[in-house]
Amino acid sequence: MMLDRLSPQAPDALLALIRLYAADPRSDKIDLGVGVYRTEEGDTPVFAAIKAAEQVLVDTQDSKSYLGPEGDMGFVHALMPYVFGSADPTMGGRISGMQTPGGTGAVRLALALAQRAGVKRVYMGVPSWPNHAQILADLGLELVTFQHARHDGTADLDAVLDIIDNAGPDEAVLLHGCCHNPTGIDYTAFDWDSIADAFAGSGAFPIIDAAYQGLGQGLEEDAAGLRTVLAKVPEAFIAYSCDKNFGQYRDRVGAFYILGQDQTALDTAFSNANALARACWSMPPDHGGAAVRIILRDPDLTAQWLAELDTMRTRMRQVRDALAAAGTAGRIDLTPLGLQNGLFAMLPVTKEEVATLREEHGIYMAASGRINIAGLTSANLPKFIAALAAVAQ
Ligand code: LMR
């Protein structure tokens, strides 16, 4: 039988954790697995600004007829001042975009288009979001890795510069724009300057995955690195996600932007991107992107969204400060977590210790040792630190 030729695949480890956690009957279990924001009460509510925009959508949307592979261009354009700066969001007409199903769709499209344009090899700092490698493997692109971080908990600038300096014209370098997933270790402003200079002097093609804007240091601050690169290079791809900073996870809201040398180059690139999208998902889901467009075109809703984003960022910063203030848990030094950004941090724990934390203490985290900072609250933090101290001796 044809289906007998398939071999079983392990479920995605990160997504499998969602089910494992749900099936655990312990009332004091702690979910530090998949990357969703949680409140101090442990909830992941729909943003009030999104609820209000959805109501506007229900009241005013007069058709659900097809839009096209590029999706809702009002949404795509409304985001641009936030990503690329309000002074010149198109960089003199050199940036355009299209809507994608989540940030994953944008990453997929960026890599597929790079491949269509002749890219054979992609360099990526590791550890990285596991799906990056899965998408590359599925496309048949060669992945070459380098170490993203040093042991002291800072980004390894020399490693990335060495890669960019030596990469050729059929090679791309995939970077995280901010809130590095899984380490939380971002490049500094100085690092980004050097990275931008390196790209400017090399044939390597920059692809920047920006999935967490606003969850690190602030909306503008989190975009500064990618803007520094774009200001110095002739071409680049940007994969953008609204799933986290608008809390739209399951509605799959993303955008793919291209920086090109001129309008002709952009038109040709997007004719290819549209063809790739059409052959893959045809058109992106509309609802979430339309809600974001409604928010960003309404000053009151925009202010509400920004306030909600501030609350999230402030809470995550407080959790990081509390972890750093704890100093150590067993052999684990928690102080670097106070300097990192976004939802994630990596703990130097073994797979066995991760399993013990789950089985004996009801604490769920990725086997890599990645924790979702937002899963910690003032109520469960003491238990987490005590369990970590007991397990990681
Ligand atoms: C994560 O890293 O946990 C999130 O980006 C969710 C996902 O799709 O993996």
- List of residues 6+ apart from 160 with CB closer than 8 A: 125, 146, 148, 173, 175, 187, 191, 195, 198
pLDDT digits (tens, 9 = 90+) for 176-186: 999 999 999 99
Going from the Cα of 184 to the center of ligand 1, the distance in angstroms, rounded, reads 14
pLDDT digits (tens, 9 = 90+) for 309-364: 999 999 999 999 999 999 999 999 999 999 999 999 999 999 999 999 999 999 99
pLDDT digits (tens, 9 = 90+) for 177-230: 999 999 999 999 999 999 999 999 998 999 999 999 999 999 999 999 999 999
Going from the Cα of 141 to the center of ligand 1, the distance in angstroms, rounded, reads 21
In ligand 1, the atom with minimum distance to the C-alpha of 34 is 3
* CA 325 – CA 337 distance, rounded (Å): 10
Among 31, 129, 222, 251, the active-site one is 129
Classified as helix, coil or strand, 225 is helix
In ligand 1, the atom with minimum distance to the C-alpha of 102 is 8
Quick check: is 209 catalytic?
A: yes
**Helices in 336-380 by DSSP H: which ranges?**
351-361
Among 31, 156, 191, 244, the active-site one is 244
Tokens for 316, please give them.
Answer: 């995550």
Question: Class of 66-297 per CATH?
Answer: alpha beta
CATH of 12-46+301-391, one of 3.90.1150.10, 3.40.50.2020, 2.60.40.10, 3.10.20.90: 3.90.1150.10
pLDDT digits (tens, 9 = 90+) for 361-379: 999 999 999 999 999 999 9
- Domain locations in the chain? 12-46+301-391, 66-297
Residue 43 pLDDT greater than 90, yes or no: yes
In ligand 1, the atom with minimum distance to the C-alpha of 131 is 9
pLDDT confidence of residue 13: 87
Question: First vs last Cα of the chain: how many Å apart?
Answer: 52
Tokens for 311, please give them.
Answer: 């609350």
Tokens 């630190």, residue? Answer: 385
Quick check: is 192 catalytic?
A: no
Among 209, 222, 251, 286, the active-site one is 209
Going from the Cα of 181 to the center of ligand 1, the distance in angstroms, rounded, reads 9
Chain Cα centroid distance, residue 237: 14
Count CB-CB contacts under 10 A for residue 188: 12
Strands (E), the chain: 30-31, 95-101, 121-126, 142-147, 171-176, 205-210, 236-241, 253-259, 328-329, 332-333, 344-346, 363-364, 370-372
* Burial bucket for residue 18 (CB in 10 Å: 0-12, 13-18, 19+): middle
Query: Given pLDDT bands bounded at 50, 70 and 90, which one contains residue 261?
Result: very high
pLDDT digits (tens, 9 = 90+) for 48-98: 999 999 999 999 999 999 999 999 999 999 999 999 999 999 999 999 999
Q: Whose CA is nearest to atom 4 of ligand 1?
A: 35
